[in-house]
């Protein structure tokens, strides 16, 4: 099992399309930095009602905290991030998530990864969720 070393404070997105600012707020709060979603949204050039280009996370600068952006990722990379106590913000299509009914670009945080489940903090919901992993082998 790979997980963050302490609980991640869960934050709900404060405005439409605010999933990435909300995830950044959770990640920064994990490291003891309390910034409002509005301030974060301003720094990353959030577009009201539309969202934020993912690469704009690089516009956030906090002394002592490194924020990295990768265009592709694997479960192994997420495991490694969690082992290093880094907070992985993952960009997804909501149609791929069993608890969503619509399809949109979305950001969430993976806080724990087991062999059979992924525990996520989805800022669109007021509580932490988990997803079961499906494996296909031959």
Quickly state the pLDDT bin for 3 (edges 50, 70, 90).
confident
Global pTM exceeds 0.85: yes
Contact 121, 13 (CB under 8 A): no
Determine the 3-state secondary structure of 99 from DSSP.
coil
DSSP 21: H
Question: CB neighbours (10 Å) of residue 64?
Answer: 7
Strand positions, DSSP E, 1-138: 2-3, 89-93, 105-113, 117-121, 129-132
What is the share, in percent, of the chain residues with pLDDT greater than 70?
95
> Over the stretch 64-89, which tens digit does the pLDDT of each residue have?
888 877 777 888 888 898 998 899 99
Q: Half-sphere exposure (CA, 13 Å, Cβ side) for 54?
A: 14
d(CA 62, CA 74): 26
> Over the stretch 97-116, which tens digit does the pLDDT of each residue have?
888 999 999 999 999 888 88
Instruction: Give the CATH number of domain 2-132.
Output: 3.90.70.10
According to DSSP, the β-strands at 89-93 and 2-3 are: unpaired
Structural domain boundaries in the chain: 2-132
């Amino acid at each position: 099992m790979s997980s963050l070393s302490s609980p991640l404070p869960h934050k709900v997105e404060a405005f439409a399309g605010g999933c990435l600012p909300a995830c950044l707020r959770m990640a920064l709060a994990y490291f003891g930095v309390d910034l409002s979603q509005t301030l974060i949204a301003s720094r990353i050039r959030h577009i009201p009602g539309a969202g934020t280009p993912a690469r704009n996370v690089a516009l956030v600068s906090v002394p002592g905290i490194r924020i990295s952006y990768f265009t592709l990722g694997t479960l192994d990379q997420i495991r490694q991030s969690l082992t290093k106590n880094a907070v992985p913000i993952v960009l997804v299509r909501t149609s791929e998530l069993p608890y969503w009914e619509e399809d949109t670009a979305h950001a969430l945080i993976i806080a724990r990864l087991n062999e059979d489940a992924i525990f996520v903090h989805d800022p669109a919901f007021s509580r932490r969720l988990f997803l079961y992993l499906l494996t296909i082998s031959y």
